[in-house]
Amino acid sequence: MSVIEELMAALGNAVLTGDRITERYRSDASLSGRTLPLAVVRPGSVDEVAVALKICNAHGQCVVPQGGLTGLAGGANPRAGDIAVSLERLSGIEEVDATASSMTVLAGTPLEVAQRAAEDAGFLLPIDLGARGSCQIGGNLATNAGGIRVIRNGVARDNVLGLEAVLADGTVVSSMNKMIKNNTGYDLRQLFIGSEGTLGIITRAVLRLRPLPTGRLTALCALDSYSEVVTLLKRAQQELPGLGAYEAMWESYFRFNSEADGLRLFESCPAFAVIVEQDLQGHDAESERFEAFLGRALEDGVIGDALVAQSQKEAQAFWRIREGHALDRLPLLLNFDVSLAIGDIGRFADECGQALRAKFPEAHVSFFGHVGDSNLHIAFSDPGATEETIHAVDDIVYALVGTYRGSVSAEHGIGLLKRDFLHYSRSPAELELMRRIKSALDPNGILNPGKVLGSV
């Protein structure tokens, strides 16, 4: 029997072929995928994932795991001849344990569904990102999702207590731990988290929940220099125990996006604008502490001005500038996602901006990011851009990241699109060790081949 016949015999209607394979399965949100998969398997249970992989492995059939397809690195794009395994039917909350502060979810559960279930039980699920409506927990973990709330509760990896994954050969490895402390051998969870589906397919997880904030205080601050951005960050970390977000915007980014919203919030456009947000907990009013913190920063000249949101609507207006949807209207927008030691970010942005503007004088170049998480985003759009331009921009940005010993991907992952730049961030010894691990776990190389490490 062919692999498809065998899959259909074992899994019946869970296997889509021919016209039943819709456009959806062609690409993630980078829209870089050009090829439909040979077939799509949509398992309805962990056992069905295991059966599908066992059959594919026996046939040497390559498999691309797919979640909500909101990735930006091409990690879920099929290559010609790949079979997609979509987790979309493996969805649901299995348990919320209020005493353990944990929830158990299937991998295909949309993030927002899991967030709501946590909130209904009085908890915060700290994993959050813009694509929350369509991305899935399995994909969030496979790519070690970041987002804007990392400064308080860490990246996805930091919020996983237990994990279950299916190996290439169909072995189900279940480590559904609920404990905070568990030192019984190797941490298998962390191996699968962030491996972008190349070591196994994540099927279930025990996620860690946190107390639900009772409210938020939001301020938008104007600052003169990157060194003041760092000073304010340090003070916020020291003085605001519930610091929930710290988002910096460089002048060109802030100007472009506030003008697009028709807002003029400061008398003159500051060199840096920073959103500082404090999560509230418990019974006491914290607004005095928050305003005293801002007052001291003003007095000491760390900030030039500060606006405290007086309503949720005002806070949303600050956040809309930060989200920068106006940029999406620019032609061929590139959005980089790099990280650098916090002390290096200011110099890096200066150098990177100069290098890009020297080569593309007409281009929009702007910087913004989760500075407290060492994460910088770069927006680039050139009206006269070509495919070649885009490659040149990649080369300029990533080579500079390499000289700063930074990361070419802070949160989006490597997938297909950043594979050629991985060497700027990881040494030959690291890459060789990753290949060894890949070979040990997936000796036939069927799991998402070509992604992250290229051909092994």
Residue 141 found at the interface with a second copy (CB under 8 A)? no
Residue 431 found at the interface with a second copy (CB under 8 A)? yes
In the complex with a second copy, which residue's Cβ is closer, 17 or 171? 171
At its nearest, how many Å lie between a second copy and the CB of residue 313?
26
Size of the site for a second copy (CB under 8 A): 93
Q: Which stretch binds a second copy (CB under 8 A): 63-71, 297-305, 323-331, 407-415?
A: 407-415
The alpha helices in 377-427, defined as continuous H runs, are 387-403
Task: Give the residue among 111, 107, 90, 69 at the shortest CA–CA distance from 14.
Answer: 90
Pick out residues in 284-313 that bind a second copy (CB under 8 A): 284, 289, 292-293, 296
In the complex with a second copy, which residue's Cβ is closer, 4 or 176? 176
Give the integer Cα–Cα distance in Å for 215 and 86. Answer: 37
Give the integer Cα–Cα distance in Å for 10 and 21. Answer: 19
- The one-letter amino acid code at 179 reads M
In the complex with a second copy, which residue's Cβ is closer, 276 or 441? 441
| Sole binder of a second copy in the list 22, 45, 225, 237 (CB under 8 A) | 237
Q: Which two tokens stand for residue 413?
A: 């992952």
Residue 157 found at the interface with a second copy (CB under 8 A)? yes
Are the C-beta atoms of residues 92 and 65 closer than 8 Å to each other?
A: no
Residue 352 found at the interface with a second copy (CB under 8 A)? no
- Strand ranges (DSSP E) for 305-450? 305-308, 334-339, 364-370, 375-381
Distance set, CA 202 to CA 50, 185, 197 (Å): 11, 20, 8
The alpha helices in 150-286, defined as continuous H runs, are 150-153, 188-192, 226-239, 251-260
In the sheet that 243-250 helps form, which strands lie side by side, from edge to edge?
A: 305-308, 215-223, 272-280, 243-250, 364-370, 375-381, 334-339
Pick out residues in 44-83 that bind a second copy (CB under 8 A): none
| Sole binder of a second copy in the list 81, 130, 215, 282 (CB under 8 A) | 282
Pick out residues in 165-184 that bind a second copy (CB under 8 A): 167, 171-175, 177-184
Pick out residues in 88-107 that bind a second copy (CB under 8 A): 97-102
User: Site mask, a second copy, residues 357-396, x = CB under 8 A?
Assistant: -------------x-xxxx---------------------
Residue 283 found at the interface with a second copy (CB under 8 A)? yes
| Sole binder of a second copy in the list 223, 414, 417, 447 (CB under 8 A) | 414
| Sole binder of a second copy in the list 110, 304, 324, 413 (CB under 8 A) | 413
421 Cβ contact list (under 8 Å, min separation 6): 394, 398, 408
Are the C-beta atoms of residues 390 and 417 closer than 8 Å to each other?
A: no
109 Cβ contact list (under 8 Å, min separation 6): 91, 92, 93, 136, 137
113 Cβ contact list (under 8 Å, min separation 6): 91, 93
Helix (H, G, I), strand (E, B) or coil at 308: strand
In the complex with a second copy, which residue's Cβ is closer, 110 or 406? 406
| Sole binder of a second copy in the list 33, 146, 197, 304 (CB under 8 A) | 146
| Sole binder of a second copy in the list 44, 92, 242, 402 (CB under 8 A) | 242
Residue 2 found at the interface with a second copy (CB under 8 A)? no
At its nearest, how many Å lie between a second copy and the CB of residue 23?
28
Residue 225 found at the interface with a second copy (CB under 8 A)? no
Residue 118 found at the interface with a second copy (CB under 8 A)? no
Residue 216 found at the interface with a second copy (CB under 8 A)? no
